[in-house]
A = this chain, B = another copy of it.
């Protein structure tokens, strides 16, 4: 099957927003084995939308629309498609009830134009909107399949994942489901990871294995379709086990998570507190740790010791250590980690010292980083990294490596 994605919205043509919906849907369709040949963006204009539909009908079997399902006059996707296909719009009672409920819940008065959102193209499967008002639609004609999705990603993405992909796979409403699971890895490059599981990727069709790299991490999305016995999850389990056998040491979490979140969960479960002494990362570790609500249970505070004066004055590093080994050294990192735990009265101390670049420092090139990890009751551990990339990339990766190091350290102690 081949597909075209048509985004409807003048705000896209004015450059006010970027078409992230097309990227999201393209990725998902690739997982489903659907080829996307074109993306089109067209404004809130009935004639131009009509013409875009005609062109898409010539070159695609599946046409997915995003946007233009709302209550205002500008929202003309439904009307235009219905007119083009000679179909009527009919009121969907369930959608109407859920719109009324939405207004009740938010204590607002429903204006009349909101009824428009409950109108759907006759004969279509209704895709429930669990994060907004306008329902989606899926319609099959002799030559084409049409899917209409809302524009806001917060509504579109969950609707597509829960109902849309099942409709495309032809299993909507059956017990069969499409399941997907994302495995997240850090500390290994995309090419190296793919090389280790190349045969698995090539052999697999259910589930499919789709790698994706970004921000120094690699993810693998496993997507399986139920067979008659409803075994999607167990098919994924089996492939996951095979992948873990090869590259499990780099794995850190499932689906939407991050290294800092996984570390936070682990600290909470073990009832441990942490503090940090940050030089090259300038507060990035602590900023990420506290970006999630509820950090106060595991983090009391820490120090950004950017200068040697601050390392000595605020974290009590011995001047002799800096004189003998330099601030960019394993010795300094270890002393910072031990001292910050003491100064802040925490169970764990972590430290980051090194060269963010672009200039070198103390004779070390940019990317030389030492991380100190101290867990009360265990010997302190210092790790040297040689990172590449921009100043921002080096700082970000340092924090990620620090999280991973600490997760490994804490998981070992559990054994």
Contacts and interface: CB of A to CB of B under 8 A. Distances in A.
Q: Chain A interface: which size bin?
A: 35 or more
Given A17-B23, A19-B39, A39-B13, A286 B301 contact: no
Given A40-B40, A283-B286, A306 B310 contact: no
Interface string A338-355: 000001110000000000
A301 B303 contact: yes
A66 to B, nearest CB: 13
Binding site of A, secondary structure by majority: helix, strand, loop or mixed? mixed
B291 A301 contact: no
Nearest to A298: B306
B301 A309 contact: yes
Contacts of A30: 14-15
Nearest to A391: B293
A357 B291 CA distance: 10
Interface string A32-55: 000011111111010010011001
A59 interface: yes
Given A301-B303, A306-B295, A38 B27 contact: no
Nearest to A18: B23
Contacts of A59: 51
B38 A38 contact: no
A276 B305 CA distance: 11
Nearest to A24: B15
A343 B313 CA distance: 9
B15 A27 contact: yes
Given A291-B391, A295-B306, A304-B301, A26 B37 contact: no
A309 B37 contact: no
A304 B212 CA distance: 35
A296 B362 CA distance: 14
Given A15-B24, A17-B23, A287 B282 contact: yes
B291 A304 contact: no
B391 A309 contact: no
A15 B212 CA distance: 10
A408 interface: no
A25 interface: yes
B27 A291 contact: no
Given A42-B38, A295-B282, A303 B303 contact: yes
A106 interface: no
A398 B266 CA distance: 30
Contacts of A40: 38-41
Given A15-B28, A313-B345, 7 more contacts: A14-B30, A38-B42, A38-B48, A299-B306, A300-B306, A300-B310, A304-B304
